[in-house]
Each structure stands twice: as structure tokens, then as C-alpha cells.
Structure 1
Amino acid sequence: MECIFCEIIAKKEKSYTIYENNYVIAILDIDPINKGHVLVIPKKHYEEFTEVDQDTLSNVIFVAQKIARVIEEILQPDGITVMQNNGVFKDVNHYHMHVFPRFENDGFGWVEPDFEVNEEDLIAIFVWLKKAM
């Protein structure tokens, strides 16, 4: 089977499309974290965030921001989460951005590991990243 998002973009699969332009499509997530959970999906198939071209990526974040504003206005949540996953952590093998309303005690959470970094490690990582940039 082809990628489910590519099938949706090609109109071969049903979706609840709330926005579309030449670069992206925005659909309601059928397995949402909360009511109003939207996926912003590039029309061109990319598997990873690091592969996405600049024009498409600009459209993804612009549309995500527009959706966040509408969600805030209509659903009046306590906050908005905008996120995406890569590698083994993504649920569909087609890059996409999640935008969803958050409500206090909604059960969604970010669990941070008990990880500490020392000054020496921070400096080493800083030098490595800065040089690579």
C-alpha cells in the first residue's frame, strides 16, 4: 500500500481537510490527542524533517500557526502543542506537523528523563554544533 498521507493528498482516501494550498494539506487527525487535533502534511512525500525543502517547510509552519490561532479562537484551550516526530518515533512515514489544543489535566504529557549534563559536556556539544553550523 502507498503512504496513507499520499493517498489522502491524491484524494484516494477520505479525510477531513480543513486547509489546502500548493504545498500542504491540513486535515483533522482521526486518532486525536484532543478534539481539534490537526495534521499539517506536505503534499510532496518526505520521510524526515531534515529532507523538507525550505518553501514547503515555511508553508508547514505558517499553516500550523494559522491553525493554532483558529483553535485558540474557537476552542479556547489552555494552550496549544505544535510538534513533530522523526525516525522511529513517527507514526506515519511521511513528515507531518501536529497542532492540537491542550487543556489542563487532559492526560497528555511530556515525560523528561532524569538526565544531567555537566559543564564539560555542554561546552563540547556547543563547540561541535557551532562548528557544524
Structure 2
Amino acid sequence: MECVFCAVVAGSEEAHVVHRDERTVAFLDRRPLFPGHTLVVPTVHLETLPDLPVDLLEPFFTVVQRVAAAMEGALGAAGSFVAANNRISQSVPHLHVHVVPRNPKDGLRGFFWPRNHYRDDAEAAEVAARLRSALTG
């Protein structure tokens, strides 16, 4: 089965496109949190953010940044929520960044899952050390 986002990129699947260039396409989400909720996708099929080649980071996230800024000017949004899922909760296995217009008292309550504390400072230090090792090793 063809990836629905690849079909949008190819033009064989209809979408309300708000931006298109040789590396990215941005289009309205079909099931928006709020009007203007936009998905930004690379034109090449990549499943997750870690798959995005370094040379595409800047052009891809420049479009994400431009879409976020446009929401304030074009839609009168006070700000935006920008997020990407990697595998878990990723409804379409094609890298996509959600850019959602936000306003005070719009009904969204921060993150959609419970937040917790570390057991103690030692646990936080151990987790940080593991991540540092993975990033430098």
C-alpha cells in the first residue's frame, strides 16, 4: 500500500497544501485539533526524525518555523504547538511535524500524558549519564 503522505507529495492524494518546495510539503491535517493544524513532511519517504539526513534538517525545520510564524500572522494565533512522533502514536509512518495554532484557554492542557518526577537526584543523574554516553559514544 502506498504511503498516504507520499501520495500527497506526488499530488495523487488531495490535500490543502500551504507550502511546497523540492524538499518539503506542508498541508492541513484532515482531522485538526484547531483550524490551521498543519503537517510538514519531507518529500522523500522517511519514517522518523532520526532518519532525516543532516543536509535536510535546516531546510525542513525552516519550513516548520515559517509555518509556525504564519499561524500568528494569518490566523491570529497567540502561538503554536510543534510536535513529532517517532513510531509510537505515529498514525502515518512518514516523518511529519504537527504545527498547531494555539491561543490562551483553547482547551489543550500541555502534554496529553501524565508527568512524573524522578525518584531522586541519583536516578536523574544516571539517566542523564546514559543519554550523554549515547550521544558522545
Residue 17 of structure 2 is aligned to residue 17 of structure 1: yes
Moved over 4 A (4+): none
1:102 corresponds to:
102
Which runs of no fewer than 5 residues in structure 2 stay unpaired? none
1:94–1:127 CA distance, 2 compared to 1 (3 A): same
Match status 1:119 vs 2:124 = no
Residue-pair matches, total = 133
Instruction: Summarize the Cα distance change of 1:114–1:16 in structure 2 as closer, same or farther, 3 Å threshold.
Output: closer
Matched, 1:52 2:73: no
Q: Which residue of 1 aligns with 2:28?
A: 28
> How many angstroms apart in 2 are the aligned matches of 1:111 and 1:10?
33
Work out the CA distance in 1 between the residues paired with 2:112 and 2:26.
28
Q: Deviations over 1:18-49 (max 9, x none)?
A: 11111111111121111111110001111111
TM superposition shift of 1:79: 1.8
Give the residue type in structure 2 aligned to 1:10: A
1:62 aligned partner: 62
Question: Does the C-alpha gap of structure 1 residues 123 and 105 become closer, same or farther in structure 2, counting only changes over 3 Å?
Answer: same
Distance 2:27 2:115 in 1: 36
* RMSD (Å) for aligned C-alpha atoms: 1.4
Q: Give the alignment's TM-score, normalised by structure 2.
A: 0.89
1:114 offset after TM fit, Å?
4.6
**Structure 1 spans left out of the alignment, 5+ residues:** none
The share of aligned pairs that are identical, in percent, is: 31
Q: With structure 1 as the length reference, what TM-score do the two structures score?
A: 0.91
